[in-house]
Chain A
Amino acid sequence: GIQVEQSPPDLILQEGANSTLRCNFSDSVNNLQWFHQNPWGQLINLFYIPSGTKQNGRLSATTVATERYSLLYISSSQTTDSGVYFCAVEPGNTGKLIFGQGTTLQVKP
């Protein structure tokens, strides 16, 4: 089955710093989503981005489908950005999302 790898697994930043999270996937996909999981376990939708570039405030994402990777950029990080960031892909039109192992981000004041 498709493999989804996220890097780095852990990231510690000072408030105000920028960061880039990466998601590599091993096959073509129908759907790619980025989520932020808060301390209570809720998955918050950040981007639906099977290809191209999108921006939402301090966050932006780029997916290069032909090269099978996606990047999530966080600028001017805040302590509220802390948590786990997941990339998830849907191979074909299967309906199922396959999640990576996540990147745990800690932003220190």
Chain B
Amino acid sequence: DTGVSQDPRHKITKRGQNVTFRCDPISEHNRLYWYRQTLGQGPEFLTYFQNEAQLEKSRLLSDRFSAERPKGSFSTLEIQRTEQGDSAMYLCASSFGPEQFFGPGTRLTVL
């Protein structure tokens, strides 16, 4: 039984570049969530999917951010025109019931 996986684990980019992260949930989990965590803070909710439908988006998810889950399996999170303030750990989680299980995260550094 594999857990939630995320790729890449680390990403360093220059300001203004676009980046895309991938999340593969636990098999048969129909819900998938994205969170962002900055240093010294708890994770903050960004968005979540039930199957392929995006059901809620936080106001933290500006128009530079877009998330997709096209076939109800893996999901991608894209950040366009990255800014230094986007530097954070991006966490993905999945669930079948209410208990969420998290992946190892993608640490983004914007120079």
Q: Which residues from chain A sit less than 8 Å from chain B, CB to CB?
A: 30-31, 33, 35, 40-43, 45, 48, 50, 86, 88, 90, 94-102
Contacts and interface: CB of A to CB of B under 8 A. Distances in A.
Main secondary structure of the interface of B (DSSP, over half): strand
Contacts of A100: 42
16 contacts: A41-B105, A41-B107, A42-B102, A43-B102, A45-B101, A48-B98, A86-B42, A95-B31, A96-B45, A96-B48, A96-B58, A97-B93, A97-B100, A99-B42, A99-B43, A101-B42
For chain B, the bracket of interface size reads 20 to 34
B98 A31 contact: yes
A62 to B, nearest CB: 17
B41 A97 contact: no
A98 B45 contact: yes
Interface of B: 31, 33, 35, 37, 41-45, 48, 50, 55-56, 58, 89, 91, 93, 98-102, 104-105, 107
B41 A45 contact: no
A48 B45 contact: no
Contact of B41 (A40, A90, A101): A101
Contacts of B50: 95
Give the interface centre of A30, A86, A96, A98 by most chain B CB atoms within 10 Å: A96
